Amino acid sequence: MSFFIYKEQKVFYSDKGSGEPLIIIHGNTVSSKMHFFLSRKLKKHLRVISIDLPGHGKSERVEKWPVDFWHENSRVVSALIKHLCLEKSILLGYSGGAQIALNVALENPELVSKAIADSFEGEHSVASYAENIFDDRNTDKKKSMAKIFWFLMHGLDWKTIVDKDSETTYAHHQQIGSFFHKDLSRITIPVLLTGSKHDEYIHNFEDIYIPISKKIAKAEIKLYDSGSHPASLTAGKEYINDLLEFIHSHKIY
């Protein structure tokens, strides 16, 4: 297993395949195990690097999570890129990982060649989600399938991780609200915004993505008739083909 150190904490990552580097960033309450099958398919075409964000999966646990979770973890991803001495990387973030990917592009544009932001709620937290998160998560924690899923993602301490995420999500909405410190118009790299029309959590991708695409000069939108949340893990071969086409059509020589 591979680790690097961020703020005296061990952060897990995997590095497989060869070619142009693609870093996959998982969403909230999950880990890199979530995209195991996607990574296995993509490593035939790219150098695929997956990270377990601090406090998640195989990474060392963090006593207190940052309220500005999505911005702080962009620093973690940037540190990984530098640790691996990568000149430029492609970023694929899904769900909460999408905001992290876009934050890296905003804060450290010299590290990123292109980004795919999949199945995320937009620039600002959603009140109906954040304000009900404790009740919703407490309900989910009683479901057998959810227990098994979170156990597979993190291990025996999965409840602690889910609770910390709920606390961070609620605190962020109350204290900050915006996922980004800078305007998205400052992103100059190609960005692909993706989602499923049948996403069970987000039902208005066009309303979210069209304003964002007007800010990001090189943004493209692709919504799928298949799949659910997130599209990158559920829309199948079509998503992988579109992802590879986007990457290769924006090659930098």
In this predicted structure, the answer to whether residue 189 has a pLDDT above a threshold of 80 is yes
8 A C-beta contact, residue 50 and residue 39: yes
pLDDT (average), residues 147-172: 98
Residue (of 40, 226, 219, 225) closest to 116 by Cα position:
219
The one-character DSSP state at 60 is: P
Domain ranges, residue 33: 2-124+178-249
Q: Whole-model pTM?
A: 0.97
- The answer as to whether 141 is a domain residue is no
Strands 219-224 and 112-118, sheet pairing: unpaired
User: Using the 8-state DSSP alphabet, how is residue 237 labeled?
Assistant: H
Give phi and psi for 112, each to the nearest 5: -120, 135
Q: What sign does the dihedral 76-80-86-91 (CA atoms) show?
A: negative
pLDDT value at position 1? 77
pLDDT reading at 251 higher than 70: no
Residue 133 lies in a domain: no
**What distance in Å separates the CA atoms of residue 133 and residue 247, rounded to the nearest whole number?**
35
Q: What is the mean predicted confidence (pLDDT) over 222-228?
A: 97
- Residue 177 CA to chain centroid, in angstroms? 18
The residue type of 163 is: D
Note whether residue 147 is domain-resident.
no
Q: 83-138, pLDDT tens digit by residue?
A: 999 999 999 999 999 999 999 999 999 999 999 999 999 999 999 999 999 999 99
Q: What is the total count of domains within the chain? A: 1
d(CA 175, CA 181): 14
Burial class (CB in 10 A: 0-12, 13-18, 19+), 136: exposed
Percent of the chain clearing pLDDT 90 (strictly above): 97
Residue 62 placed within a domain: yes
Decide if 43 is inside a domain.
yes
Average pLDDT in the 233-241 region?
97
Calculate what percentage of the chain has a pLDDT beyond 70: 98
Backbone torsions φ then ψ of 252, nearest 5 degrees: -110, 120
Tokens of residue 58, six digits = 């195989």
| Residue 166 belongs to a domain | no
Ramachandran angles phi, psi of 150, nearest 5°: -70, -35
Does residue 144 belong to any structural domain of this protein?
Answer: no
Residue that the structure tokens 């893990």 belong to: 233
Predicted local distance difference test score (pLDDT) of residue 123: 98
Mean pLDDT (the chain, rounded): 97
Per-residue confidence (pLDDT) for residue 253, from 0 to 100: 40
100 is a domain residue: yes
CATH of the domain at 183: 3.40.50.1820
Q: What is the pLDDT of residues 17-29, one digit of tens each?
A: 999 999 999 999 9
- Average the pLDDT over 64-90 and give the result: 97
Between CA 219 and CA 184 the distance in angstroms is 11
